Amino acid sequence: MKRIVVTLALGIAVSALQTATAQTILVNSWENSVEGWGTLEANWTSGGFSTTTGVTQGSYSWILNAAGSPDYGAALGGTASTALTADLANAASVSVDVYATGFSYMQWDLTLNGGGLGYQSTDGYTYSQSPVIGTESTLTFTIPSSFRATLAANPTIATSLNFQIGGGNPGTVYLDNLVVTEVPEPASLALMGLGAVGLVLFRRRNS
């Protein structure tokens, strides 16, 4: 019977580990301000801010216009900071909400600049994320563990986020809710697991 109880407890502990919710950090929501971001090539220009379209966080989204088909070059970039280096050193992913209109298709790539990495793509320049045109989309870029290790080893070197964008036809993009999702802390997960084991054993002992 003890073996059954311990097995059940371990199963609950594993389930707790698997369902743990990682912490998210809001990096930008472009609340009527570019918040340190800007366009990196002439094809892209800022169109101000919207309170109606593409708003998923706060009260505004940032409007960006492409005069021609995006050419897969560096299109948008943010301000470098050591705070961002620290956030990315423990980041499982970076996501951004995108509402795109006018384009026939789009492909996005996230690059990190600084933090001991130099200028590197998170997905090897495969442009793995594509918004559905005319629909609110969340693009999510996985941060490789090797990137996290390099960033953690270089906390005094500032890092910035940059988006490279390819696609067809001119169009407009609304950006909002740029978020870093952190890797769950091992210590917290261990405590959750031990708590689950202890709860089952306590109930068994007092039943």
Counting DSSP H helices and E strands in the chain, the numbers are: 4, 11
CA 54 to chain CA centroid, nearest Å: 17
Q: What confidence tens digit (pLDDT) does each residue in 28-68 have?
A: 999 999 999 999 999 999 999 999 999 999 999 999 999 99
Q: What confidence tens digit (pLDDT) does each residue in 188-200 have?
A: 444 445 554 454 4
pLDDT of residue 185: 72
pTM score, two decimals?
A: 0.81
Instruction: Count Cβ neighbours within 10 Å for each residue of 103-135 and write b for 16 or more, e otherwise.
Output: beebbbbbbbbbbbbeebbbeeeebbbbbebee
Q: Which residue has the higher pLDDT, 25 or 206?
A: 25
Q: What confidence tens digit (pLDDT) does each residue in 82-96 have?
A: 999 999 999 999 999
Q: How confident is the model at residue 175 (pLDDT cuts 50, 70, 90)?
A: very high
Average pLDDT over residues 95-119: 98
Side-chain-facing half-sphere of 36: CA atoms under 13 Å: 13
